[in-house]
A and B are shown apart, each in its own frame.
Chain A
Amino acid sequence: MSASVLFDAPGPRGRRAMAIGNLVGAVVVLGLLAWVLVVLSGKGQLAAGLWRTATDPRAWEFYYLPGLQNTLRAAAFATVGAVVFGVLFGVGRLSALRPVRWVCSIIVEFLRAVPVLLMMVFLNALFGIGLKAVISDSAFTAVVVALVLYNGSVIAELVRAGVGNLPRGQAEAGLSLGLTRGQTLRSVQLPQALIAMLPAVISQLVVVLKDSALGQLIGYKELLRSAQILASGGGNPLQALFVIAVLFILLNVVLSFVAGRLARRLSSRTSAKPQAGQGVGPGIVVTRAGAVDEP
Chain B
Amino acid sequence: MSPFLDVLSQYDVLGAFWVNIQLTFWGALVALGIGTVLAIMRISPLLSLQWAGKAYVNIIRNTPLTVIMTFLVLAIWTQLSITLSRDFTTNFFLFAVIGLGVYHAAFVCEAIRSGVNTVPVGQAEAARAIGLPFLAAARIIVLPQAFRGAIAPLGNTLIALLKNSTVAAAASVSTETSSVMKTMIEFHADYRWQVFLTFAIGFVILVIPIGLATTWLSSRLAVRR
Which A residues have a C-beta under 8 Å from some C-beta of B?
A: 1-3, 5-8, 10, 18, 21-23, 25-26, 29, 39-40, 43, 45, 110, 113-118, 121-122, 125-126, 129-130, 206, 209-214, 216-217, 224, 228, 231, 237-238, 241, 244-245, 248-249, 252-253, 256, 278, 281-285, 287, 293-295
Contact = CB atoms under 8 A, between A and B. Distances in A.
A216 B66 contact: yes
Overall SS of chain A's interface: helix
12 contacts: A3-B43, A6-B128, A6-B137, A25-B48, A26-B48, A113-B163, A113-B203, A115-B166, A122-B196, A125-B185, A238-B74, A252-B62
A127 B63 CA distance: 29
B152 A5 contact: no
A248 B58 CA distance: 12
Overall SS of chain B's interface: helix
B48 A126 contact: no
Contact of A22 (B46, B62, B119, B211): B46
Interface string B37-79: 0000011011111001000001101111111001100110011
Nearest to A23: B48
Interface stretch (B3-11, B86-94, B153-161): B153-161
B78 A125 contact: no
Given A29-B52, A238-B79, A278-B61, A284 B166 contact: no
Contacts, number: 201
Given A39-B80, A241-B70, 13 more contacts: A29-B48, A29-B52, A113-B200, A113-B204, A115-B163, A121-B182, A125-B185, A125-B192, A212-B64, A216-B170, A217-B169, A237-B78, A283-B163
Nearest to B119: A1
Contact of A284 (B111, B123, B138, B156): B156
Interface string B108-124: 00110010111111011
Contacts of A249: 58-59, 62-63
Contact of B125 (A5, A206, A248): A5
Given A18-B45, A129-B192, A224 B107 contact: no
A22 B47 contact: yes
Contacts of A282: 159-161, 163-164
B160 A248 contact: no
A213 B107 CA distance: 19
Nearest to B61: A278
Interface string B86-106: 000000000000000000000
Contacts of A18: 45-46
Interface of B: 42-43, 45-49, 52, 58-59, 61-67, 70-71, 74-75, 78-81, 107, 110-111, 114, 116-121, 123-125, 127-128, 133-134, 137-138, 142, 152-153, 156-157, 159-161, 163-164, 166-167, 169-170, 177-178, 181-182, 185-186, 189, 192, 195-196, 199-200, 203-204, 207-208, 211, 215
A206 B167 CA distance: 18
A219 B170 CA distance: 12
Contacts of A252: 61-62
Given A39-B80, A43-B79, A249-B62, A21 B166 contact: no
Contacts of B71: 237-238, 241, 245
A253 to B, nearest CB: 6
- 8 tightest CB-CB pairs across the interface, nearest first? A283-B156, A282-B160, A283-B160, A252-B62, A213-B64, A25-B48, A237-B74, A238-B75
A283 B61 contact: no
Contact of B116 (A3, A237, A283): A3
Most buried by B among A40, A228, A281, A283: A283
B70 A293 contact: no
Given A282-B164, A293-B153, A117 B49 contact: no
Contacts of B178: 115, 117-118, 121, 217
B207 A284 contact: yes
